[in-house]
Structure 1
Amino acid sequence: MTPGTASGTVSGDVNRPLRVLQVGAGGMGRGWLRTLLAYDQVELVGVADLDVARAKEALEQAGAGDVATGPTIEALADQVQPDFVVDVTIPEAHHPVTMEALRRGLPVLGEKPLAANLAESLELTAAAQAYDRLFMVSQSRRYDANLFAYRRQLRQLGRLGILTAEFFKAPHFGGFRDAMDHPLVLDMAIHAFDSARFLLEADPVAVYCEEYNPGWSWYAGDAAATAIFEFGGGLRYVYTGSWCSPGQETSWNAAWRASGEHGTALWDGDGPPTLEIVEGGETAPEGDTPEADPHPGIAGSLREFVAALRTGTTPMGTARDNVASLAMVYAAIESARDGRRVLVADVLEEAYAQAKARAQGPVLDVLTGWTSLTPPG
C-alpha cells in the first residue's frame, strides 16, 4: 500500500507560460486570481465556478474580464486547453474537482485540506499515481523563510526531546467556521501539524488530544485543543491552541520552542528564529546545504508547483506527503472524541479500507497494490 508520487510533466514548449484553469472564485479564489495574474510563468485561461456571475465579477475586479468563465471543468477544459488546474473550491468539492482534472490528464494544485475526509484524500493520492499526474496541496505556511531558518537551527540541537507550538487568536469569521464541530483542529491546526512534520523531518506514531470550548466562545464546536504527538525516539510535539483567546495574540504561524541536547531554539512565528547552544555543548553540523529561502505564501506554492511541472522534480507539498499531515488532524479528533491515545497508523488503515470500498477502476487498482500505509514522508 505504499503511495507513489506522480511524475507527469507538461508536454511541448516548457519555456512558454503554462496555461492554468482555476476552479472556485470565492474569497480565497480571488487571492489566487491575483497571484496567478502576477506570475509571468503562467497564463490564466479560465475560471470555473458554479456561480458563473461570481467568477465574472472576480475577474473584472482583478482586471482580467476577458478570461473565459463557466460552471465546471467539463464546461471549460476543451475550450481553454489548460496545462493544469488550481482547485480553490470548498473542501467538499475537492474530491470531485480534483478527480475530474486528474482523469483528464491535468495536474492539480489544490488548496488545503487535501479533501473533506481522510478516505477521499487517500483515493485522490492513488488517483494521482494512477493517472501519472502531479497533485500538490498548497500548504502555504510552509513557504516562510523564517520557518526554513528555524529548521536549520533545529538540526544544530542534536537529539531533540520536545517541540512545542502555541497558537492563540480570536478571529470572528462568521460563516461555516462558527458552526463546525472541530473549528480549530480541522480548519487551522493542520498548518502547525504540517509545520511540525517539516521541522522534525519525521512523522508521528501516536497522539493524545483534548478539545474543549471556553464558556465565552462564539463557536458552536470546540475552539481550543491540546494535542501531544509521540514521535520516534521519545520525541514529543505538543500543540496548544485557541481560536477564542483575545489579547496578547500569537502569530498566525504560532509561537515555537524546540529543546535538544545542545540547547534551545525559539521562533515567534513572525521574525527570525533564535538559537542558544549551551556552554560546553557542541554545535552540531547542519549536515547538508541549506535550502534556498522560498517565495512566501501561495506564491511560493505556485512557483514550486510550476517548477515541478517543468522539470519533473518532486515538490514538498505532494498529496503523498500532505496526507500524513491530514492524518494527524483526524487522529487528534479521534483521540479527543474517545479520550484515549490513538495510533496514527490505525487511523490511516481505517481510511484506507474506506477508500478501497469507494474507489473504482485504475484508482482501485493502485490502492489495492499499496503494500504499506505508514504515514508517507
Structure 2
Amino acid sequence: MTFAVLPADAGRVRVIVVGAGPMGRAWLRTVLDEEGVELAGIADLAVAVADDAAVEVGVPGIATGPDAVALARRTGAQAIVDATVPAAHHVVTLAALRAGIPVLGEKPAAATVAEALSLAAAARVTGQLFMVSQSRRYNDHLFAARAAAQRLGRAGILSVDFFKAPHFGGFRDEMASPLLLDMAIHQFDMARFVLDADPVSVLCDEYNPSWSWYAGDAAATAAFEFEGGARFVFTGSWCSPGAETSWNGAWRLSAEHGTVLWDGDNAPTVDAVGDGSAPSAEATAPGDGIAGSLREFVVALRTGEEPMGRVHENILSLAMVEAAMLSAREGRRVTLDEILESSLSAALAAERDAEVRDVMAGWGSAREALQSGG
C-alpha cells in the first residue's frame, strides 16, 4: 500500500509535537536537532504545560494549543509526532489521519491491538503514513546482530535478560502490566527484527515481587514460538536493583552455524563455525533511538520508501504483548492469531467510522491484512 508523499520542492518538514510531558520533551529536543525538520508548534491539553516545555527546550513563544490538528492547520505543519500517553494514541492519530496529516507515533501504536487495527485501516482509507517509533530498533549494534544472525543460518533460540529498577512515578506505576506493556514491547519488537520472522504463540508467567513499587506485575518470563520453529525467550524485571542490564537487555542467539552475544551497549560478538564465518556487509541504522525513527519517517514522507515501523508491520509487536498478558492471566499457551482475530472483532464492534469499518470488514484475516499492508 502506498501513502502520500511531500512535494518534491518541499523544504524542511514542519511538525507539531503532541504531548509535552517527559517523552514529549525528548521528542522536542530531537526535532530541534534534526536538520530536515522544523518544529512548528507544541500541542497539549494543558496549554500551560506546552508553554513551559517550549521555554525548557529553548523555543519560548512558539505556537501552542490544546488541539494538534487545529494547531497544525494554523501553523502550516505537515506532520504530527504523537508523544502522548498510550490511551490517547487512537484519538490523536485518527484525528490527524482524517485531517490528511501523517503521524509518527510513540510506541505502542495504540492502547490495544483492536485500536491499532482501527488505525491501520484509517491509514488505508486516508492514504496517509502512520509510523510507530520502536526506537530501540535504531541501533547500529542491533543491526550488526541481525546481520550476524542472517549468516549463521537457521535460528534455534534467541533469549534476552532484562533487569532494571527505575522509579518513574506517573502512569507506569499504576499500569496493570508495566513491564510487558511499556517496556517488553521493545524487546519483543527487537526479536522480530533480529529473527526476521513473526511470532506464532507464547507461554508467559507474569508476577510482582513482594518489594515491588509498581501496582501491577513488574516481572515476567515469556517463551514465544516463531515462524520457522525458532524460540524467543524474554526474562525480565523492572524492580531488580543491582547488576542491572542495559536498557536494551542482554542477548544471546544460538543458531545453526554459531552464536551471537550482545550486552545491549557494545558491539555484538560472534562465535561462528563453518558457513557462519563468511563475511557480510552489515547495514547501519539511519540514526540512534528516536532520532533514527524521526529520520526514517522524514525519508519516507519525501520518497515513499517503506519505513520499518509502518503501523501494519508494527502491530504484531503489540500483539505479542497482549498474547503474553493473556497467557499469564489464563495459564495457557496463546496463539497470536487468537489475539489478532479477537481484536479485529472488537475493532469492528467499536468502530464508528463507516469507511474504516468497511476496510476492516473486508479483511480475510487480520494477519493476512497486516502482511499485505491492509
Residue of structure 2 in register with 1:10 after alignment = 6
Residue 237 (structure 1) aligned with residue 229 (structure 2): no
| Separation of aligned partners in 1, 2:5 and 2:92 | 20
SS of the residue corresponding to residue 80 of structure 2 reads: strand
Find 1:366's aligned residue among 347, 350, 359. Answer: 359
| Root mean square deviation of aligned Cα | 1.5
> Over residues 13-45 of structure 1, what are the superposed CA-to-partner deviations in whole Å (9 max), with x where a residue is unaligned?
23x101111111111111111111111211111
Match of 2:306 in 1: 314
Q: C-alpha distance in 2, partners of 1:353/1:286?
A: 47
- Listed one character per residue, the Cα deviations across residues 152-206 of structure 1 (whole Å, up to 9, x for unaligned) are 1111211111000100111111222222111110110000000000000010100
Between 308-317 and 30-39, the greater mean CA deviation after superposition: 30-39
TM-score normalised by L of structure 2 = 0.95
Residue aligning to 1:291: 283
Aligned counterpart, 2:164: 169
2:275 partner letter = E
Do residues 105 (structure 1) and 97 (structure 2) align? Answer: no
**Which amino acid in the other structure matches residue 365 of structure 1?**
D
Residues 65, 12 of structure 1: alpha-carbon distance in 2 compared, 3 angstrom cutoff: farther
> How many residues get paired?
369
Query: How many Å apart are 1:60 and its aligned residue?
Result: 1.4
Deviation of 1:232 (Å): 2.5
Structure 1 range deviating more: 94-103 or 152-161: 152-161
2:34 corresponds to which of 31, 34, 39: 39
173-182 or 313-322, larger mean C-alpha shift: 173-182
SS at match of 1:250: coil
Q: Are residue 143 (structure 1) and residue 138 (structure 2) matched?
A: yes
3-state DSSP of counterpart to 1:75: helix
Question: Structure 1 residues 289-298 or 212-221, which shifts more?
Answer: 289-298
After superposing the two structures, state which structure 1 stretch, 327-336 or 219-228, moved more. Answer: 219-228
Q: Is the 8 A contact 1:206 1:343 kept in 2?
A: yes
- CA distance 1:110–1:6, shift in 2 (3 Å): farther
Q: 1:294, CA displacement in angstroms? A: 2.7
Aligned to 2:128: 133
Residue 145 of structure 1 and its aligned partner are, at CA, apart by: 0.3
1:253-272 to 2 correspondences below 5 Å:
253-272=248-267
8 Å contact 1:6–1:135 — kept in the other structure?
Answer: no
CA contact (8 A) 2:2 2:304 kept: no
Kindly, what percent of the aligned residue pairs are identical? 58
Of 342, 348, 351 in structure 2, the residue corresponding to residue 356 of structure 1 is 348
* Superposition deviation, residue 12 in structure 1: 5.8
**Correspondence for 1:156 among 151, 163, 169:** 151
CA contact 1:158–1:284 (8 Å) conserved in 2: no
Q: Distance in 2 between matches of 1:365 and 1:95?
A: 18
User: 8 Å contact 2:341–2:365 — kept in the other structure?
Assistant: no
Please list the CA deviations of residues 292-348 of structure 1 after superposition, one character each: whole Å capped at 9, or x if unmatched. Answer: 333101110100000000000110000011101000000000000000000100110
Alignment of 1:10-29 (within 5 A): 10-11=6-7, 13-14=9-10, 16-29=11-24
Shift of 1:212: 1.1
CA distance in 1, matches of 2:110, 2:120: 10
**Residue 197 (structure 2) pairs with residue 202 (structure 1):** yes
Report if aligned partners of 1:213, 1:223 keep a CA contact under 8 Å in 2: yes
Q: Distance in 2 between matches of 1:111 and 1:300?
A: 13
Amino acid at match of 1:107: P
Q: Which residue of 2 aligns with 1:68?
A: 63
- Give unmatched runs, 5+ long, in structure 1: none
The question of whether the paired residues in 2 share the 8 Å contact of 1:155 and 1:284 is answered with: no
Higher relative contact order (CA 8 A, sep 6+): 1
**Contact kept in structure 2, 1:8 and 1:132, CA below 8 Å:** yes
**Which contiguous aligned blocks of 4+ residues in structure 1 show a shift greater than 4 angstroms?**
284-287
